[in-house]
Structure formats: C-alpha cells, structure tokens
Structure 1
Amino acid sequence: MYDLLKTIDDPAALRRLDRRQLQPLADELRAFVLDSVSQTGGHLSSNLGTVELTIALHYVFDTPHDRIVWDVGHQTYPHKILTGRRDQMHTLRQLGGISGFPKRDESEYDTFGTAHSSTSISAALGMAVASKLHGDNRMGIAVIGDGAMTAGMAFEAMNNAGVEDDVPLLVILNDNDMSISPPVGALNRHLARLMSGRFYAAARAGVERVLRVAPPMLDLARKLEEHAKGMIVPATLFEEFGFNYIGPIDGHDLDSLIPTLQNIKELRGPQFLHVVTKKGQGYKLAEADPVLYHGPGKFNPAEGIKPATTPSKKTYTQVFGEWLCDAAELDSRVIGITPAMREGSGMVEFEKRFPDRYFDVGIAEQHAVTFAGGLAADGMKPVVAIYSTFLQRAYDQLIHDVALQNLPVVFAIDRAGLVGADGATHAGAYDLAFMRCIPNMTVMAPSDENECRQMLYTALQQPNPTAVRYPRGAGTGVATVKQMAALPIGKGEVRRETSQPAGKRIAILAFGTMVAPSLAAAEQLDATVANMRFVKPLDAALVRELAETHDAIVTVEEGCVMGGAGSACVEALLEAGIMRPVLQLGLPDRFIDHGDPAKLLAACGLDATGIVKSIRERFLANGVVGGQSSVKRVA
C-alpha cells in the first residue's frame, strides 16, 4: 500500500519519477490524505481537491528554491506529505504535532506562514521582487482560492504586481466552485498550452514591436486579441491588472497542468493561471457535500460522517444563532452580517428565515464592518458575526467607521480565547486588549450560555458600538431563558464570598469563560469570586470594594494579559489610589500552538488546578497573604 508514495521523502525524489508514474502517485496521495484525516480530523475537501496541482507544482518547479505560498493554507496536506512530513501526519493538529497550516519553522518548504485568507499574492510578490533584486532567478508562486479572491487585499497585491513587468511571479487561481466538463476541459487544455507557449509569447511581442510605429493599429490588434480570448476565457479582468491570463484548465489533469506550468516557467512578468478543481475530488461523499467534509473530526471513510448525537450542552455559536433569529422576529431592523462564515458563525437558520436581512459579504472583514456602519447610520440594527481572529483584519474600520461615529453596531465575536487544533493563527487572544482602548465601545464577556443570550440582547439595545465575545464549543450546560432582559451596563456580580478572616481574604475577578474554573479554584482556596461581565465599562466600584475588603486581588481572563481585562482592573485600583497585591492570570506573551483546548488552557495555568497553583505560589507560599489586613491608599 502506498508503494510509490513511500519513496517520496522530498520533491527531488518526486522529480525523479517518470511522468507516467505521476497519476498513480496522485491516486495514492489522495487515498493517504483521506485515510490520514479520517484518523486525526482536519480539513478534507480542499485537500482532496489540490492533489494533482500540488504534484505538478513540485514536479515542475525547483522547490524550495522556487517559493510556493499557499493562501489560507488549509489545503496543504498533500504539500506536507510530499515534503518530508508523511510519517508525521498522524500528529496533525495535535499538541506537539505538525500544524494544519504552513509554518516557516516546521519546514523549509513552508516558505511563508498562512492561515488567514488573501495574503498569498502579496507575499509571493515580495519574494519575486526579492528574487529580482538578488538576481537568483527564483519564482514566487501564489496559490489562491476563488473565495480568497473576494478580499480586497488580493486585488491590492495584483494592482501592485501588474506594474512589475519582469518579476518572476505566478498567481494560480484554484477555482473549486465547479468542475470543467470534458469538452470545455479539452478545449481549454489546448488553449492554455497555446497561451503559455513560447510561440504565443514571441508572436505577441513581435506584433507589438511591429505595430508600435502605428499606435492605432496596435490598439486595434490588442482589442481584437482581447475579444478573441474573452469569448472563451474570463481573461479581461486579470489582464487589465497587467497579468498574462492562462486558462482555465482542469486542475485534476496532470497532462494539462505539467506542460502548462513548464511553459509558464519560461515566461517573464506576472502570470495568472486559472485552474479549476473540485472540492472532495475522488471521495464521493465529500464531492456530494464538500461543506460537511470541509473540516470533519475523526470518521470512518467507508461509512462517512454520521449525524452527531444531540449534545447535552449548547454551543455558544448555537446560542448566538437562536438569539439572532429571535431578535429578528421581534425587530425588522435587525440585520445579520457574516464575512464568509455562515456555518461557523451559526447563521444558517437566520439565512433561511430572513434571507432579505442576511448578508454574506465574502472574505471581506473590512467591508463587513463599514457596511454595518452604513446600515447603522441609517437606522438599521446590524449584527456582525465574526471570529475574534478575523476582526483583527478590520481594526481601522472598527475605530474609524464605527466607534469614532458612535454607531450602534453589535459585534458577536465568536472563537474568543484559545481555539484548539487551528492553533495560533486562529486564537482569539487579543480582542479584549484591542477593543477596550477604543472610545465609545462597550465590551462584554459571558460566563455561560444564558448570560451570553442576555448580553446579546443588551448589546442590541445600546446606542453605541457593543461587542459580546464568546468561545468556541459548548458552554457550561446552563439552560437559556427565552425571555430576554437587558443587563445593567458596567455592573458585575459577586458569585462567591470567602469566609476567611482578615489577612487571608483573596478575591478573584474573573471574566467570561474563566468564571467557571475560578469558582472551582475558589472552593479549594475559600476565595471570593466576582463575575465581572463587562470589560468596558469596567465595574470599577466593584473592583474598589473587593480591594478594600480583601488582602489580594487575582484577575483571570482567557485573553492576553498585556493590556487586557486584568490591566483594566489594575488601572482602576491605581485611579482610586488603592495599593493591593495583584496577580494577573491570562494567556502568556507568546503565540499558543495547536492542540486540545483543555490541555492548552491547563498549560497556560487557566484551569482550576493552574489557578490554585498560581495563587498559592504568589500569595500563600511567601506570606503575602496571611498576615494582618490593611488597605494602603496612595494620595
């Protein structure tokens, strides 16, 4: 089994194969991807669709000398397998294992780290320009999907690249929305070879030289050429950017891919190859439902993914989706916006019930936020459902287009905190820090499912931009109450009070998901626990009260410590002139790798055991707490 694939430990071994061996290799590689992902979980449909393209790229180009940048990066499993990581695939996306995305520190073949979309053309152009300046004749290759081409950044890069006449840049559009029918595929195979061939390039350049003496004739010739190509291929747009457009070609046909890439290798200047592939190629179940098989957990390939049993606990995403539908039922001004994350953000039912008020703007986070601002400016109630990590991409719009104008946009921020297998690129570690410094913002963090629902309702009632950030996955098991009531703004609540005497009293100020482990830790320590609820405006009065009645303060958040919610508490104490020993717990000042979320939180000291350990080491072991209580005030 996998007899050919076992011989490929690097692309050099691949390039030693006879061309006739490549299709059997592709069959083995596809089977290996399916077998591997079914055992570990991970991205499947997109990887099954890039098998032949990956083989062709490593076969034709001298990687890693030639640089391949994979946009988004979740389609790189075939690439990883062919570049020496075949025997590590069983560790995919696991703690201590290989990443599900390209990582520069994992392999020299991962020339640029990716996971967020639409960055590949910019990076590949930078590499191509560096190659030109170094004079080392290396190609910069960007592989970008049709979805990622909806983002403005991709077109910004193409606009820049189009004026670089002699940079060795190739942009490959992996168009996997549909497959090419056989007649069109055969025709386009011939056309792609023609357009990428030396004869076509030489003839085109020669005609331009001849006709340059008669500009009107040259202009006419160019228009005729554009018209002739435009009848068969959608070349006009990309050629207007200064690229030589080639394709579309069948991305599963090695006999089309390889000669086309070999021809392109001889060309100079920006080249654009349009490749059409099919998500889930070669696995019928994934072909039929590529969304279901986009990122499955473990499953039996012979049986496929079985319907999940109804979980005992709702996910926060489900809570949001249900609330949004309820809110839209009550108020016709409620609008739902997602940047290409309908399923992930829980908006499937909303789209079905309120199609006129549902907007999937594509992978365009900047536009999503400003679009919401425009809606709010004219009386609508927009709700932007967005992952924490992707809101980072629209930070200027959050400030300039929403907060500065104090527009009532609701941000439902999913995947806040650690996200597990997707790792550092998708972690929502920074939202509390980057939002709490923005004027006019209200920021909330729920401790359970029902509080999340009530916070979302509260956000919708506010006259200013308001964010509710919640984690991936299931909640604590608390039932949601159908009736909704607005929470008092900027007010937390004490969930547990210590029975310790003065001198031994510890107060834990917990935010969002950290309330539950803080309560568990407090049972061991006999500490007070406050569910702070609001990061901005902070319940400064509660912070002061707890500082005055306790001997030490601990803040706990599932976000970066630097500039986060704990920092807000320290600032409140300084403002009040109160000096108390403070321990800030949160995500450390480093990028947290992929792995099981519970294990990652434990490694960061953010489970109950870790919280107890940190408090004992900081306050109890060295006698900071345990003596006579006294509140120090600074004038």
Structure 2
Amino acid sequence: MSDNLLSNINIPADLRLLDEAQLPQVAQELRNFIIDIVAVKEGHLGASLGVVELTIALHYVFDTPNDLLIWDVGHQAYGHKILTGRRENFHTNRQLGGISGFPKRSESIYDAFGVGHSSTSISAALGMAIASNLKGDFNKQHIAVIGDASIASGMAFEGLNHAGVTDANLLVILNDNAIGIDPSVGALKQYLTAVKEGKNPRQNNMIKSLNFDYSGPIDGHDIFAVIKELKRLQKIKGPKFLHIITTKGKGLQQAEDDQVKYHAPGKFDALTGEIHIKSEENLPPKYQDVFGFTVLDLAKSNEKIIGITPAMPSGSSLKFMMDAFPKRAFDVGIAEQHAVTLAAGMATQGMIVYCNIYSTFLQRAYDQIIHDVALQNLPVIFCLDRAGLVGEDGATHHGVFDLAYLRCIPKMIIHAPMNEIALQNILYTAQLGLNHPIAIRYPRGRGVIADWQTQHLGKYEKTAIGESVCLKEGSKVAVLSNGTIGNTVSLAISKIKHPENIAHYDFSFVKPLDKKALKDIFNTFKTIITIEGGTVKGGFGSAILEFASENNYASKITVLGIPDEFIEHGTVAELQQYCKIDVKSLEILFSSY
C-alpha cells in the first residue's frame, strides 16, 4: 500500500485489511479529505468531522453491508460515503446528477435506510432487527447512530420503548456532542450532561431502565476505545446502547469553536478554516429574516405574541426574538408534533402564537394540525419557512407538499406572499385576530426589495383575507400565480415581444380563494395558466381546476408547478429549469400566445 491509506480503501472490506494501529492515519486522511472537498463544493461539515473515528470503527468491526448501519438524519454520513465506494465521486455531493448529501438506498447497498428527517433510525433499525429474527438470521447486526438532539424527539423514544421489550439484535449509538444544528435543549440534554460529568449515579440510568445493555460514556475520538467496545457489544444479544462523547467539527479549530456556523459553512479556506464571506451589501433580505425582524417588531408592542420553533432558531431567524424576549420565544428541540400542540395550548389561553417550522418538517405534525389546531379552530399562525424547492438538500427537504396537504383541512387559511412587504403585512394582519388558523409559506433565500428593512419594516398595512390582486392587464391569457414565483412570472412577461397579451394576477390566498375575481377571469379569458412553487397534484392549480369544474367553465387551464415526482438535489435555478418554472421556460411559453 502507498503512504496514503485512504486512496486504497474503496469498500469497507479494504479497510478491514489494515492493522488497527494504522486507523488513526486513516482518520486523519479522511478528515482532511472531507475538509478539502467541502471547502470548495460546500455541504454539511461539522457533523461528519465529529464522527470520523466512529465511522471508521463501525466499518472496521462490523461486516457492512451485511450488517445494517443506519445514520440518523444523515448530516454526519460523509465519511461513511467516502469509505463505501463513493470517494472518487464525492466531489459531486449535493450537485445536480451527483451523489446525495444524505444516505439513500438507491445510491448504495451500504445505505441501509434513506434518511433526511431526524429520529427515524431507531425505529428503522428495530424493524430490520425484528425482520432478521423472523427470518432466522440471529447473527446479523443492526446499528443506529443517533445524535443527542435527535434522540430527544418523540419518535426516537417510541423506538426505544418498543426495543426494550424485544430480543432484537439492536445497537443504538448515541453520538453526544450537545448540538444539532443549534445547541441541544431540554431536560434530556441536561441529563446527558450530568451523565458525562459523572453527576448521575450509574444505577439511576434511564436507558438501563428501558432494558438496554448500557455502556459509556466513552471518548468517541479514541478510535481504539471505540473499537474495543464495539467488539464487546458485537457478542451481546438483545438491545444495546453505547453512549459516546464527540466534538462537532473535530479537527478544524474554527468548526470546533463555532459549531453553529460550521454546520454548513459554505465555501471556506481548507487550511485556515476561514469562511469566504459573500458581500451582502445592497442585497434583498432573506425571507427568514423578514419573518424574524417582523415578529420581533410586533412582539415589542404586543405582549401576547409568542414564538415557537422545533430546533431551528437560527435557520428560522426566531433567534432575534429569543434574544430579546427569552420568556416568550421557545426552541422546543426536534419535536414538531409537540411544537404544534404546544402552540394550540397557548392559543386556548389567548396567546398569539407564531409557530415557525420548515415546510418539509411540518409534515411530521399533520395529525396535530388537524386535531389539535384546525378541529378546534384555534388561531395558530404557522410560518412555513423553506417552502418550495430548497436546492442541494434535495428530496427530503423540498417544501413542495404543504399547499396540497393543508388545502383539504377545514378552517385553515393558506397564504403565500409574493414579496417582503406582503410577508410582513400578513404577519401583522394575523396578530390582529383572524379567528382561524393560518399557514403562511415563504421560500428559502432572498426576496426582491433591497431596502426592505430600512424603508418598509414597521410600516404595516392590513391584508384583505382571500383577495387577489391584478398585477398586469392583458388581452389573451390570464396567468394566476401564487407566492414568490409571481416575481419570476413578472420578469418573464417583461421579456416577451407582446407582453400586452398576458394578464397577471397574484393569488396569494390559496384558501379562501377569491371566487369573485375568478368568475371575472373565467368570463374574460379562454386560456388560463396557474403557477405555484408546490406540487401540481392537489395544490393551487388543482383548486382552480376544481373551481372551473364546479362552475362549468370551459376555459383551457394549464397547471404549472412541481411535477408529480420526488425532485432530486441541485441548485434552485437548475431545479426550477427542470420543472419548467424558470424565467426562460415561462418566457418561451408566454411567447407562444
């Protein structure tokens, strides 16, 4: 073998040929490889650096892929991908046509389960372990690696609760680094800290009380200690639990020192760790910041305003309110179901609750939206960040289903503002008292008004619920847009030879629909195009088709949006082009009329 050990490891079987004494060198090479690629190509950095030794130890001790290894969420699986046949194309990570940023069953036999949302690993691994027992394969190992933020989620506890009364050959490894994307919160985090500091008596162990063989905590960066313990646990039958302590960002000082920023730092200098700062001068604000600054501003004059987010205070910009009003803004951890019902409980007592959840994560609390909020007609204000295509995180993170899954719920108001001013105005209007729950959806990324914060923040106007706006008159075709995609429509119309042919309407409300305006539109135009940032099945366009059918209109209706498939990863621009909702595609379409 050459001096570079990693270059000779194409699959874990190659790793197992090495002497154990060589593994620290592999760890250093793997860490450097991840840093060098992510520095240029971007991606999730800190989580993968923190589990380098664990990743090597798992593939060294266990017979993967015959033994089944599951990574919770998957932010930390870069080392796993590199060691399992994807080293040569790891530079394509998260790029259009490249490998996924998360474990994915269709990508590799070493990816035992597809992940992207947290806290699924224990249930999945337990399901596999029970299946192995039923098939008579009692020697197969099933390993779930879960972080201290993810294990606090209800689903993880459901899995632990079931596993403790089975004879399943399951190993749960708690990767305890006290941080998810933001610092971990809650009583369980405090308990784990006490265990790490030796303040909790060993006999008072909550994991052991669930019938798990508990061991640890051990240093997750001591590769020899990890291997020794894994080999011991390999011989023990039934449910086992290994508690390891790691440092997120291990091996890059800046990533260790600022773990929030280096979770996904963008481009940075591989040697110094210095992040390449993009100039934000004269740029429009991020939509998440429009939410954050607006809710903070409203909270200053309304003591009943509450903010809630499940583990995304930085990503949602609720952090602004949390810093200013810590007793009125809550990070509840990775617990979307709890977040929604907590908001419902507060709403029964007259509080005005802004519950900020990424669109893709609100899916996890669907029952709570229906039963605990809408059925009781509680005026919870759902703020759905990252709605629509989100880019490189891919299919697990695109927020494209919310219009469809919310539209069928009675009492629910659904609004997608076209720009920053519309967003701040609906946030303002919601706290005046709508007497119904409302979902406000807005995308990842920046708006369109560069001076919004200095010129518009705080200058509120009440939004008329259920009303559309005619943005441009036209003679041949009516384009009905919902949300920020309307800006793309306006730009496309401005580029065609005969813009006078196209009328453009902003239908920011999917529910209730502006039926009066729709009747006028259908009586005027024989051709209607709808466009949205969500799935074409069941969304805004479907609502327009239903209206036309109910009222016996014969106009030709074209529905544009996200096609009926799971959209993979790539830049937002690339994915919009794929879905034919980018400026160029719309320009070609509009020019044909």
On whether the aligned pair clears a TM of 0.5, the verdict is: yes
Q: Distance in 1 between matches of 2:94 and 2:288?
A: 22
User: Identity, % of aligned pairs?
Assistant: 50
Q: Deviations over 1:79-111 (max 9, x none)?
A: 000001111111111101111100011110001
Q: Contact 1:450–1:479 (CA<8 Å) still a contact in 2?
A: no
Whole-angstrom distance in 2 between the partners of 1:492 and 1:2? 67
| 2:469 maps to 1:497 | no
Report the counterpart of residue 49 of structure 1 in structure 2.
50
TM-score, normalised to structure 2, is 0.93
Q: Hey, what's the Cα distance between the residues in 2 that align with 1:328 and 1:77?
A: 41
Q: Deviations over 1:113-159 (max 9, x none)?
A: 00100000000001111111112221111000000011000010111
Larger Rg: 1
State the 4+ residue runs in structure 1 displaced beyond 4 angstroms: 229-235, 614-617
Tell me which of 303, 306, 315 is aligned to 1:335: 306
- How many angstroms does 1:401 deviate by? 0.3
Specify which of 551, 554, 560 is matched with residue 585 of structure 1. Answer: 560
The structural deviation recorded for 1:290 is 0.8
Cα 1:373–1:234 change in 2 (3 A) is farther
* 1:280-307 deviation line (CA, Å, top 9, x unaligned): 1111111111111001111112341155
Q: Deviations over 1:395-428 (max 9, x none)?
A: 0000100011011110111000000010010000
Q: In 1, Cα distance between the equivalents of 2:3 and 2:411?
A: 59
Aligned pair in 2 of structure 1 residues 365, 236: CA closer, same or farther (>3 Å)? same
1:283 to 252, 260, 265: 252
- Give 5+ residue unaligned stretches, structure 2: 180-197
Q: Does 1:350 align with 2:352?
A: no
Choose which of 262, 285, 308 in structure 2 pairs with 1:293.
Answer: 262
- Check the 8 A contact 1:131/1:139 in 2, yes or no: no
Q: Aligned-pair distance for 1:240?
A: 1.6
Q: Within 5 A, what are the aligned runs for 1:232-251?
A: 233=202, 236-251=205-220
One-letter identity of the residue aligned with 1:489: I
Alignment correspondent of 2:446: 474
| 1:346-384 Cα distance to aligned partner (Å, 9 max, x none) | 122211111110111000000000000000000100110
C-alpha distance in structure 2 between counterparts of 1:126 and 1:2, whole Å: 42
Aligned residue runs from structure 1 range 309-320, under 5 A: 309-311=279-281, 312-320=283-291
Q: 2 CA distance for matches of 1:299 and 1:125?
A: 39
1:141 has 2:143 as partner:
yes
> Quick one: distance in 2 between partners of 1:611 and 1:557?
12
Aligned position for 1:486:
462
Q: How big is the shift at 1:476?
A: 1.6
Kindly tell me: are residues 507 and 240 of structure 1, through their superposed partners in 2, closer, same or farther at Cα, counting changes over 3 Å? Answer: same
Pick from 337, 349, 369 the counterpart of residue 366 of structure 1. 337
Q: Secondary structure at the match of 2:96?
A: coil
Distance 1:514 1:98 in 2: 28
Q: Distance in 1 between matches of 2:443 and 2:6?
A: 40
Read off the aligned partner of 1:513 and give its amino acid letter.
T
| Counterpart code for 2:533 | E
Q: Is the 8 A contact 2:27 2:53 kept in 1?
A: yes
CA distance in 1, matches of 2:215, 2:203: 10
Tell me by how many angstroms 1:615 deviates. Answer: 5.6
Task: Tell whether the 8 Å contact from 2:415 to 2:508 is kept in structure 1 after alignment.
Answer: yes
- 2 CA distance for matches of 1:235 and 1:154? 20
> What is the aligned residue count?
563
Partner of 1:128: 129
| SS of equivalent to 2:145 | strand
Is 1:565 the counterpart of 2:547 in the alignment?
A: no
SS for the counterpart of 2:532 is: strand
- The Cα offsets for residues 548-573 of structure 1, whole Å up to 9 and x where unpaired, read as 11120100001000110011111112
Task: Name 2:94's counterpart in structure 1.
Answer: 93
- After TM superposition, the structure 1 = structure 2 runs for residues 57-456 of structure 1, keeping only pairs within 5 Å, are 57-136=58-137, 137-165=139-167, 167-177=168-178, 233=202, 236-303=205-272, 304-311=274-281, 312-456=283-427
Q: How far apart, in 2, do the equivalents of 1:536 and 1:234 lie? A: 55
In structure 1, runs of 5+ residues without a counterpart are 179-228, 621-635
- The DSSP-based 3-state class of the residue aligned with 1:578 is coil
How far residue 50 of structure 1 moved from its aligned partner, in angstroms, is: 0.4
Per the alignment, in what secondary structure is the counterpart of residue 314 of structure 2?
Answer: coil
Q: Structure 2: which amino acid aligns with 1:50?
A: V
Instruction: Find 1:465's aligned residue among 422, 431, 437.
Output: 437
Pick closer, same or farther for the CA change 1:233–1:80 going to 2, 3 Å: farther
Give the alignment of 1:538-617 within 5 angstroms: 538-614=513-589
Question: Following the alignment from structure 1 to structure 2, what is the Cα–Cα distance between the partners of residues 235 and 59?
Answer: 33
Contact 1:176/1:278 (CA < 8 Å) preserved in 2? yes
State how far apart, in whole Å, the 2-side matches of 1:377 and 1:20 are. 61
What is the distance in 2 between the residues matched to 1:496 and 1:175?
55
Report deviation, 1:308.
4.3
Contact 1:445 1:468 in 2 (8 A): yes
Cα distance, 1:236 vs. partner?
A: 1.7
Q: TM-score, normalised by structure 1?
A: 0.86
Q: How far did 1:436 drift?
A: 1.0
Q: Distance in 1 between matches of 2:384 and 2:200?
A: 45
RMSD: 1.7
Separation (CA, whole Å) in 2 of partners of 1:90 and 1:384 = 37
Q: Displacement, 1:389?
A: 0.3
**How far did residue 583 of structure 1 move?**
0.3
Q: Distance in 1 between matches of 2:220 and 2:203?
A: 17
Counterparts of 1:91 and 1:337, CA distance in 2 = 36
Q: Which amino acid aligns with 1:51?
A: V
Instruction: Give the CA deviation at 1:521.
Output: 2.9
Paired position in structure 2 for 1:3: 4
Tell me what 2:189 maps to: none
Conserved in 1, the CA contact under 8 Å of 2:413 and 2:511? Answer: yes
Identify the range of structure 1 (524-533 vs 442-451) with the bigger mean alpha-carbon deviation: 524-533
